[in-house]
Chain A
Amino acid sequence: MSRLQVVSGKGGTGKTTVAAALALALATEGKRTLLVEVEGRQGIAQLFETEALPYEERKIAVAPGGGEVHALAIDAELALLDYLQMFYKLGGAGRALKKLGAIDFATTIAPGIRDVLLTGKACEAVRRKDKQGRFVYDYVVMDAPPTGRITRFLNVNDEVAGLAKIGPIHNQAQAVMRVLKSPETAVHLVTLLEEMPVQETADGIAELRAAQLPVGRIIVNMVRPQVLDAAGLELVRTVERSSVAQALSAAGLGGARRGGNAEKLVDPLLDQAAEYSERYALEQEQRASLGELGLPMHELPLLAEGMDLAGLYELATELRKQGLS
């Protein structure tokens, strides 16, 4: 199991949720995971129902079985100052740089540097050891940028090493790339059973593979339960309306005659079933396209009550059951 788990996905597919559930799932039996956020959206804090995360690793949850989840919102600007302090002891100069707009420049304008800082911090957490020489975190889970930007984000080598051919940034980029391209890393893609996210997943995997980044698994999120089976779907098209009306009436929903309460339910219910049937066929198609990508695939259910902390634990349990931890 790779120690750096990167979770990406198209916007709206719930990648933050999946990353958080994965961090919980991996925190089995005394294990420690670090969940990192790189886009400054404070999505993790919202999921775990805690206050906004500072640029500081802190424990945010205890997993069933005694593991711990820590979280960190990486801020590029603070990471840079941190880095300058660490390597150059530049306390005052760091402030001067900030005043001049150099920090702004480096973290928002200069291409790739921001990404090197973000991935660099995550890789540092992956490699960090305590005094006994054990890894501080068993796993680091990253809530990464969306599929459309993930390859560029992770492939800092191309971005930066080409620009900065020597110097610490160059070395940093090289070190980060060594971790990111090794089996230590797995990039998972979260998708829905809908056309656009599936297409983007396929494109994203092709890009990751072309950049020789290790692709992990496909996680299909918000899968709706199967309510009608193949026989049921067939029957929706052929069934006599009157017999459905009778069954509804038998179930206690009013009269089956024309104009009766049960009879009036038949059309809307059959309409909903037709929509379901259409969606089901589309979902099957998408499932098949995902299957062709040749990666391990996992499915997480749509939570009927919407996403909350309890739901997060539910998804973590599901991931454990499916052998992701």
Chain B
Amino acid sequence: MRTAKQRVVGALWVLLLTGLITACDEENPPVIRMASTTSLDNSGLLDVLLPRFQQESGIAVRVLAVGSGQAIRIAERGDADLIFVHHPEAEHNFLAGGFGTQRYPVMYNHFVLLGPDTDPAGIRDAPSVEAAFLAIARQRSPFISRGDQSGTHMAERALWKSAGHQPRGGWYREVGSGMGATLQMAVAQSAYTLSDPATWLAFKRPGELEILLGRKAGMRNVYSILPVNPGRHPHVKYKYVMRFIDWLSGDAGQQLVRNFRPRGEQAFSLLPAE
């Protein structure tokens, strides 16, 4: 019996050690951690880019898909090597705080204002997104806000501010969720919501919501990469991060972004290198 017991204990130790080894062998091949917005991950773009980059460079990019606000805070703590986000104001603060080395704008698209095709607030022909927001507020039509400090949430708050209205009341629902979950709630409640177009393309189901407004002033949505400053966090793999940025701004990367067409529609437009 003694031996049987010892055997069990031995097997358990082996199990524990394999668990710990799994934890430790991540450095071969080299691995960098990218804190990125959920929209890039959910849209499927990263699934196109990262395997190709790994194939060509031998560098694996691990993605923490969170809201832009959280991505920036993760990087400030030194828990990521780079961020790929869409919240210019917070990005500039990130640089000003000495957390990043530089801001590399990569691509852009335009946010879309979605709603039920019955369009109870009549925003389809609104002259501006601010006018549309005010119409929704006046009608007290249900509007779902991300409420999670993400880039999309911050863009939405900026648009309310520029409309000069502080949304408040039962019709304005802050859900504190990612874009996918928010879209589902908007569908379920026949509500208006602001979305990035890439997630919308990846998620939309026929006959649920419609794009009622897009491509208006203030709806431009720029995605940038910011490497974490190795002067601030010496353990970050700055060299590999720069390899990724060079690759993405080179022919191979640019072509993949340009040809990324979920459901046949262009999701991102490239920005000229600065």
Partners in one complex: no
